[in-house]
Structure 1
Amino acid sequence: MEQTKALNALEPFVALTKSASAPRAAADLVTQATSNQNTYVFAELLQTPQIQALSQSPDYAPHLKLLEIFSHGTYADYTSTPNLPPLNPAQTLKLRQLSLLTLARDPQHNLTYYALQQQLDLNDARAVEDLVISAVYAGLLEAQLDPRNGVVHVSSVSPLRDLAPDSIPAMLGSLQTWSGRCTSTLADLDAQIAAIRADAARRHTDKKAWDMAQAALMDAEKNGGGGNGGAGGGRGGEQQQQGAHTRGQAGILNRAITHMQQQGQQRFGKRGSGSLEPGQDDDEAMDLDEEEPDDGEGGGSGAVAGGPGKKRISRRKL
């Protein structure tokens, strides 16, 4: 949007070059275009035949050089080039803004207050802050001032500078380097993705094989280890287990199942016992109180002396 606005602001001056046949008129167009507050790109004006013809005029050739500096140069280029036309206040502010834009685009430049004072010929830190604020309001960049550390932090820069004639090869080299880094990064990512997928497939295969082995062991235990039904049956079950897995794995599984069975017998195999200790006998005695019929109702020889209706207490061993 800023670039379109700057191009639209330059169009009237490009149209006026058609009638600027004299070198003086072309030089005046250069002064007017560089003083306008909305013009920041000048490549189209610089390429017109009337402006290029200023190079043939000894008196107005410096105006052509001045326009080139506004197009792709900096304020330091202006101060280091002799015999250039003097700048009015509007031109001075604009050239410093454009120079700040160029410095902010290059990460090698130091954007401290002191460095900007030296590069832009500013008197103090307050002048640096005023210049940065004017550039932000003009839409040239987005930045924050850090007066405590004396640094300008730039977050984004607008594309409002023309390319120098000799900058295209360097830019192509930078783009090729960046493209190579992107290609290398994408290749590394593809290799990592392939390794992750291969590892996931291997884990899936291992889990499936483990599940099948466990199922085979359980089937072998059910078919061949269901009881002591003869040496042949036990031997056949052992062969099935060993066919599914190694002897060591079958032995571990058998010992685990035997241990679980023993634990189950110790806990739930003794219905009449309140103890869980494994050393107690299965025929543990329990005292029960039972009622026997009275002698008067057909009691036998086992009646207790004491008369009818008495109850005899007996102990039964379970």
Structure 2
Amino acid sequence: MEVDQGSAGDGAATSTSTTTATRDGASVSAGFGGSNDYVEQFKILAKTTSGRATVAILEKVMNHKQIYVFGEILELERVQMLRGTEFEGALRALEIMAYGTLGDYEAEQSSLPALSEVQQRKLRMLTLVSLASKQKSLPYATVRTALRMQSDREVEDVVIESMYAGLLRARLYHRERLVVVHWAMGRDLRDEDLDAVAEKLSAWCENAEVVLGTLQKSIAHVQSTRASESSERKDLSLFVAQMVCDGQKRS
């Protein structure tokens, strides 16, 4: 990701770099969203807890700066046992962190625990990931509204921070106030989302079969054309050779 002072339509400015560039041009390698090692540690702890102790673990998970996927934690029996208890708000907060947005949290804020500063920042970054997965060209204004931000500088900061965390790859066009997304991390899925994902995969497979069929026809056509051209060249060579022989005989 780069902060570009040029135009989004300038082909010469296109970058294929997979590194993160800060405003002063310094580059660092992007990280990766989530950490299996940390998640495994929390899973082990959560398997033997209940009630308030489980909530404490969820707080640590949501505050952890290297964990951005939560499905494995959510599916734990001890975590699901919070549903219907006085601690259900903590479970719901984790669900929103897993596949929701800042707007979802605000809609239920009265029944949810307050988010720490780290959790708020993380939820903003994950909300950005959701935006980036749906729209590859994001005006600063769109990001600013969705993330409840006041300035373009805040927008650039959260994009850069998300890049450092490995949540997305993108390019900032400061002059045009535009974020161009190249890739965004996949977030956790709810059970009700699985059918839609399956439909998309099925449609992709069907399209792939159509493309494959078209390619096979094109290959067959090329092979047929080459065979025909080869036969014509052979016939022409024989014709020329016969003409030469006839000419020699007449002479």
TM over 0.5: yes
TM band (smaller chain) = 0.7 to 0.9
| C-alpha distance in 2 between matches for 1:53 and 1:215 | 90
| From 176, 183, 202, the counterpart of 2:202 | 176
For the Cα contact (< 8 Å) 2:102–2:127, is it kept in 1?
A: yes
Q: Once the two structures are superposed, what CA deviation does each residue of 1:43-63 show, in whole Å capped at 9, x if it has no partner?
A: 121112221111121x32111
| C-alpha distance in 2 between matches for 1:166 and 1:119 | 24
1:45 matches 2:81: no
**Aligned residue for 1:8?**
37
1:202-281 equivalences under 5 Å are 202-223=228-249, 225-226=250-251
Comparing both structures, which one devotes a greater share of its residues to strand? 2
**Aligned residue for 1:68?**
95
| C-alpha distance in 1 between matches for 2:69 and 2:237 | 72
Q: Once the two structures are superposed, what CA deviation does each residue of 1:236-281 show, in whole Å capped at 9, x if it has no partner?
A: xxxxxxxxxxxxxxxxxxxxxxxxxxxxxxxxxxxxxxxxxxxxxx
Residue 116 of structure 1 and its aligned partner are, at CA, apart by 0.8
**Aligned residue for 2:138?**
111
Aligned residues: 220
Structure 2: 5+ residue runs without aligned partners? 1-30
**Aligned residue for 1:87?**
115
Normalised to the residue count of structure 1, the TM-score between the two structures is 0.64
Q: 1:140 is aligned with what amino acid?
A: L
For the Cα contact (< 8 Å) 2:137–2:181, is it kept in 1?
A: no
Q: Once the two structures are superposed, what CA deviation does each residue of 1:40-91 show, in whole Å capped at 9, x if it has no partner?
A: 121121112221111121x321111111111111112111224221111010
Structure 1: 5+ residue runs without aligned partners? 227-318
| From 206, 216, 221, the counterpart of 1:195 | 221
| C-alpha distance in 1 between matches for 2:193 and 2:153 | 33
Q: 1:146 is aligned with what amino acid?
A: Y
| C-alpha distance in 2 between matches for 1:110 and 1:81 | 29
The alignment yields a C-alpha RMSD, in angstroms, of: 2.0
| C-alpha distance in 2 between matches for 1:134 and 1:215 | 75
User: CA, structure 1 residues 134+215, in 2 after alignment: closer, same or farther (shift >3 Å)?
Assistant: closer
Q: 1:173 is aligned with what amino acid?
A: E
| C-alpha distance in 2 between matches for 1:110 and 1:221 | 72
Larger relative contact order (C-alpha < 8 A, sep ≥ 6)? 2
**Aligned residue for 2:159?**
132
Q: Once the two structures are superposed, what CA deviation does each residue of 1:1-22 show, in whole Å capped at 9, x if it has no partner?
A: 836x62212233222223422x
